[in-house]
With several copies, the nearest count.
Chain A
């Protein structure tokens, strides 16, 4: 397993230049996420429009390259999606990232750019870095104001 498969170009780029790294005014949903094992902290805010689609979303906090890039790409991926579509994407992403190392086939269809994180499952100690943003998003839209952790 090559490092390049974990740190794909797209990930390195989003780490350096995170998109939607901002606060969202008058957000409808928000949550904070912690990875207590590495001290990462993430705060996520989003707002749905009247038609029930994500109008805006932003994140803030400190984290490693994987977790920053994952947050950044996640915000891009969910913008414009309905709640149901977001949850389906969460599910898809989660299954890809946590598939066993020796899994023969991992479903990627529908992930688009998020496929860049397919290498993470070969680095078991880093899976949580990739999924923190998604768990936080999940909490934000299913539990309202809440605090999640990845341990």
Chain B
């Protein structure tokens, strides 16, 4: 697949001489799924917040595990197992560097953000939360960062208390400060909202939690694909994300945990690999991160995630600048459309824009956009409390990746206009 490097070759003098312009066409050639038609029209994929497309290097890496280094890890002395183990464990080091962890033993592999958040909710609650205690959870969370806390807190008789939002959908720092006075044990919040794209002031939120003596847990699922994340700079205790929204395979996620805190947590699931010694008279457990990785992990998935993060790193900050300009273009154009209102419009926003069309239910919008070849997500985006906050049952969400273009946005707006006309 060779890229037509039209943008770079054009020499139109627009690009700054010392900045390599971002060649989105070249990037698009890396993603095979982009090159298909849907209902006879070239696909416009604006659903990256649900799952991102995968570059060929990731697809090939997964295939190379199954086609060559196909073995179970850790417990084998044979060469295939050694090769698979080495590739797998190298990703742990890479992830630690990617998000600024201080040691590879702070990186736990899970089967996704959801299972990572459940791991934390369950073990943190078991270790640190008692009957009558409080856990703060923001109202803009994905269900994956609400329900695990409800289930875990119910078990010990603790309370999950929502952190309110302001009208625009941003977290209310004032209300948060007041809630911290109630001495919660844990504060859980998202880095970036998957429904609105709003970016939380995570450094501030984490610092306030720390000052109040609470542990902090960040859901970074929508941040890792779009932002440079550094857990040390943020100053957070635990950070969670999924591979499949960051150009990697599905069925894989990461939990970062500050070493001393991870050390103090009980195991989550039991099984192979996470033990020191098993006996019916008493079982002892391995140290972190192994303690939290019961059973055969998603070996090919972890290796593929490593390739995806390397791909993303390699694109560099140009990709982020590009994504931001596409998002801004989308917001500008959508605002101009009659009957369209943005939901959760903010200066601090990445990756996604949500909107509603007056008089047309998002579900119908979704179907009409699909017929026009434009893939968006419609619904509550697993954020029912946030939808309730905005007083809508659902929104239309367009979300972007490194391969998104302003052309995509134009196709979206044309289809929105046609939808409005259809239901007039």
Contacts and interface: CB of A to CB of B under 8 A. Distances in A.
- The reply to whether A and B meet directly (CB within 8 Å) is yes
Contact of A12 (B276, B368, B423): B423
B80 to A, nearest CB: 11
B278 to A, nearest CB: 9
Given A124-B82, A125-B81, A65 B361 contact: yes
A123 B362 CA distance: 16
Interface string B78-114: 0001100110000000000000000000000000000
Given A3-B368, A3-B371, A39 B393 contact: yes
Given A3-B422, A62-B393, A39 B367 contact: no
B285 to A, nearest CB: 10
Contacts of A65: 360-361, 364, 423
B163 to A, nearest CB: 22
A31 B275 CA distance: 19
A36 interface: yes
B290 interface: yes
A3 B361 CA distance: 16
Contact of B86 (A39, A64, A66, A124): A124
A81 interface: no
A18 interface: no
A66 B366 CA distance: 13
Contact of B393 (A6, A7, A40): A40
Give the secondary structure class of A's interface: mixed
A84 interface: no
A129 B363 contact: yes
Contacts of A63: 361
B286 A151 contact: yes
B77 A126 contact: yes
A149 B288 CA distance: 13
Contact of B367 (A6, A62, A149): A6
A123 B290 CA distance: 22
Interface of B: 74-77, 81-82, 85-86, 275-277, 286-287, 290, 360-364, 367-368, 371, 378-380, 384, 387, 393-394, 422-423
19 contacts: A3-B422, A34-B276, A36-B276, A38-B363, A38-B379, A39-B384, A39-B387, A62-B361, A63-B361, A64-B362, A65-B364, A68-B361, A124-B82, A124-B85, A125-B85, A126-B363, A129-B363, A149-B276, A149-B286
Interface of A: 3, 6-7, 12, 34, 36-41, 62-68, 123-126, 129, 149, 151
